[in-house]
Amino acid sequence: MADAATLSRRNFLNTVVGALGAVITGVIAVPVAGYFLDPALRGKAGTASWVKLTSMDQVAGSPTAFTIAAEKINGFMKENVQATIFAWVENGKPVAMTNVCTHLGCPVAWTPNDSEFHCPCHGSIFDKEGNVVHGPAPKSLPRFDTKVENGDLYVMVV
Ligand code: FES
Protein backbone atom coordinates (compact mmCIF):
# COMPACT_ATOMS: atom_id res chain seq x y z
CA MET A 1 0.00 0.00 0.00
CA ALA A 2 1.31 3.46 -0.93
CA ASP A 3 1.82 6.15 1.58
CA ALA A 4 0.63 9.77 1.24
CA ALA A 5 4.08 11.05 0.16
CA THR A 6 4.26 8.50 -2.74
CA LEU A 7 0.78 9.37 -3.98
CA SER A 8 1.60 13.04 -3.81
CA ARG A 9 4.82 12.51 -5.83
CA ARG A 10 2.89 10.39 -8.38
CA ASN A 11 0.21 13.07 -8.70
CA PHE A 12 2.87 15.73 -9.10
CA LEU A 13 4.65 13.76 -11.85
CA ASN A 14 1.34 13.08 -13.64
CA THR A 15 0.54 16.79 -13.56
CA VAL A 16 4.00 17.75 -14.87
CA VAL A 17 3.88 15.15 -17.65
CA GLY A 18 0.36 16.24 -18.59
CA ALA A 19 1.39 19.89 -18.67
CA LEU A 20 4.46 19.12 -20.81
CA GLY A 21 2.28 17.14 -23.19
CA ALA A 22 -0.13 20.06 -23.51
CA VAL A 23 2.74 22.49 -24.18
CA ILE A 24 4.28 20.22 -26.81
CA THR A 25 0.90 19.71 -28.48
CA GLY A 26 0.34 23.49 -28.55
CA VAL A 27 3.81 24.15 -29.96
CA ILE A 28 3.11 21.74 -32.81
CA ALA A 29 -0.60 22.42 -33.35
CA VAL A 30 -0.55 26.23 -33.58
CA PRO A 31 1.85 26.48 -36.57
CA VAL A 32 0.17 23.53 -38.31
CA ALA A 33 -3.27 25.09 -37.88
CA GLY A 34 -1.90 28.44 -39.08
CA TYR A 35 -0.42 26.79 -42.16
CA PHE A 36 -3.77 25.33 -43.14
CA LEU A 37 -5.93 28.29 -42.17
CA ASP A 38 -3.77 31.16 -43.42
CA PRO A 39 -4.93 31.16 -47.07
CA ALA A 40 -8.54 31.07 -45.94
CA LEU A 41 -8.00 33.98 -43.58
CA ARG A 42 -6.16 36.07 -46.16
CA GLY A 43 -9.31 36.52 -48.22
CA LYS A 44 -11.21 34.93 -51.04
CA ALA A 45 -9.42 33.18 -53.82
CA GLY A 46 -9.18 35.25 -56.94
CA THR A 47 -9.70 38.56 -55.19
CA ALA A 48 -10.00 41.40 -57.67
CA SER A 49 -7.38 44.12 -57.74
CA TRP A 50 -6.42 47.15 -59.81
CA VAL A 51 -3.42 46.61 -62.09
CA LYS A 52 -1.67 49.39 -64.00
CA LEU A 53 -2.05 48.81 -67.72
CA THR A 54 -0.20 51.82 -69.18
CA SER A 55 0.00 55.58 -69.04
CA MET A 56 -2.93 57.41 -70.59
CA ASP A 57 -0.69 59.19 -73.10
CA GLN A 58 -0.14 55.76 -74.73
CA VAL A 59 -3.87 55.17 -75.19
CA ALA A 60 -5.21 56.25 -78.58
CA GLY A 61 -8.60 56.39 -80.25
CA SER A 62 -8.31 52.90 -81.73
CA PRO A 63 -7.62 49.67 -79.81
CA THR A 64 -3.98 49.11 -78.94
CA ALA A 65 -2.69 45.93 -77.30
CA PHE A 66 -0.91 46.25 -73.95
CA THR A 67 0.56 43.42 -71.90
CA ILE A 68 0.33 43.27 -68.13
CA ALA A 69 2.06 40.96 -65.69
CA ALA A 70 0.53 40.29 -62.31
CA GLU A 71 0.80 37.85 -59.44
CA LYS A 72 -2.33 35.80 -58.97
CA ILE A 73 -2.93 34.20 -55.57
CA ASN A 74 -5.47 31.41 -55.34
CA GLY A 75 -5.37 29.72 -51.94
CA PHE A 76 -1.91 28.18 -51.68
CA MET A 77 -1.22 28.68 -55.36
CA LYS A 78 0.76 31.75 -56.40
CA GLU A 79 1.45 32.21 -60.08
CA ASN A 80 2.72 34.93 -62.35
CA VAL A 81 0.30 35.60 -65.16
CA GLN A 82 0.52 37.72 -68.28
CA ALA A 83 -2.40 39.05 -70.22
CA THR A 84 -2.86 41.17 -73.29
CA ILE A 85 -5.56 43.79 -73.02
CA PHE A 86 -6.79 46.19 -75.69
CA ALA A 87 -7.29 49.77 -74.58
CA TRP A 88 -8.55 52.87 -76.31
CA VAL A 89 -10.43 56.08 -75.62
CA GLU A 90 -14.11 56.21 -76.47
CA ASN A 91 -16.22 59.33 -75.89
CA GLY A 92 -13.43 60.71 -73.74
CA LYS A 93 -13.32 57.67 -71.47
CA PRO A 94 -10.83 54.77 -71.45
CA VAL A 95 -12.05 51.36 -72.52
CA ALA A 96 -10.23 48.09 -71.82
CA MET A 97 -11.19 44.76 -73.35
CA THR A 98 -9.76 41.26 -73.26
CA ASN A 99 -8.02 39.80 -76.28
CA VAL A 100 -9.20 36.28 -75.36
CA CYS A 101 -11.77 34.89 -77.78
CA THR A 102 -14.90 33.61 -76.05
CA HIS A 103 -14.96 30.51 -78.24
CA LEU A 104 -11.83 28.58 -77.23
CA GLY A 105 -9.53 31.29 -75.95
CA CYS A 106 -7.35 32.21 -78.91
CA PRO A 107 -6.00 35.77 -78.96
CA VAL A 108 -8.04 38.08 -81.17
CA ALA A 109 -6.39 40.81 -83.22
CA TRP A 110 -7.64 44.30 -84.03
CA THR A 111 -7.95 44.96 -87.74
CA PRO A 112 -8.21 48.72 -88.29
CA ASN A 113 -9.28 48.38 -91.94
CA ASP A 114 -12.71 47.04 -90.98
CA SER A 115 -12.69 48.19 -87.33
CA GLU A 116 -13.22 44.66 -86.02
CA PHE A 117 -11.49 42.09 -83.87
CA HIS A 118 -10.70 38.88 -85.74
CA CYS A 119 -9.93 35.52 -84.19
CA PRO A 120 -7.40 33.56 -86.25
CA CYS A 121 -8.41 30.13 -84.92
CA HIS A 122 -11.98 29.56 -86.11
CA GLY A 123 -12.93 32.84 -87.74
CA SER A 124 -14.98 34.63 -85.09
CA ILE A 125 -15.36 38.35 -85.63
CA PHE A 126 -16.25 40.97 -83.01
CA ASP A 127 -17.13 44.63 -83.49
CA LYS A 128 -15.37 47.43 -81.60
CA GLU A 129 -17.85 47.05 -78.73
CA GLY A 130 -16.86 43.38 -78.45
CA ASN A 131 -20.18 42.09 -79.80
CA VAL A 132 -20.12 38.93 -81.88
CA VAL A 133 -20.47 39.75 -85.59
CA HIS A 134 -19.64 36.25 -86.80
CA GLY A 135 -19.40 32.99 -84.78
CA PRO A 136 -18.63 30.44 -83.56
CA ALA A 137 -17.85 32.65 -80.53
CA PRO A 138 -20.87 32.30 -78.19
CA LYS A 139 -20.67 35.69 -76.49
CA SER A 140 -19.13 39.14 -76.54
CA LEU A 141 -15.59 40.01 -75.53
CA PRO A 142 -15.74 41.14 -71.91
CA ARG A 143 -14.53 44.57 -70.87
CA PHE A 144 -12.57 45.44 -67.77
CA ASP A 145 -13.49 48.11 -65.26
CA THR A 146 -11.06 50.99 -65.64
CA LYS A 147 -9.84 53.96 -63.65
CA VAL A 148 -7.30 56.69 -64.26
CA GLU A 149 -4.96 57.74 -61.48
CA ASN A 150 -2.10 60.22 -61.87
CA GLY A 151 -2.27 59.85 -65.64
CA ASP A 152 -2.07 56.05 -65.57
CA LEU A 153 -4.75 53.64 -66.76
CA TYR A 154 -5.67 50.83 -64.36
CA VAL A 155 -7.85 47.77 -65.04
CA MET A 156 -9.68 45.63 -62.52
CA VAL A 157 -8.29 42.10 -62.74
CA VAL A 158 -9.89 39.12 -61.00
FE1 FES B 1 -11.78 32.12 -81.52
FE2 FES B 1 -12.46 29.61 -81.95
S3 FES B 1 -11.08 30.38 -80.49
S4 FES B 1 -13.14 31.37 -82.97
Among 98, 99, 119, the mutation site with the greatest number of ligand 1 atoms within 8 A of its Cβ is 119
Residue 135: its pLDDT value, please? Answer: 83
Residue 9: its pLDDT value, please? Answer: 76
User: How far does the centroid of ligand 1 lie from the alpha carbon of residue 120, in Å?
Assistant: 7
Decide whether any atom of ligand 1 lies within 6 Å of the 103 Cβ. Answer: yes
Among 100, 118, 121, 126, the mutation site with the greatest number of ligand 1 atoms within 8 A of its Cβ is 121
Q: Is the dihedral of CA 45, 49, 52, 53 positive or negative?
A: positive
Residue 121: its pLDDT value, please? Answer: 95
- Buried/exposed 110-129: b ≥16 CB within 10 Å, e otherwise: beeeeebbbbeeeebbbebe
Q: Which pLDDT tens digits describe the chain residue by residue (158 residues)?
A: 555 556 677 787 888 888 888 888 777 776 665 555 555 545 444 567 888 889 999 988 899 999 988 777 777 888 888 889 999 999 989 999 999 999 999 999 999 999 999 999 999 999 999 999 998 999 999 999 999 999 999 998 87
3 state SS of 27: helix
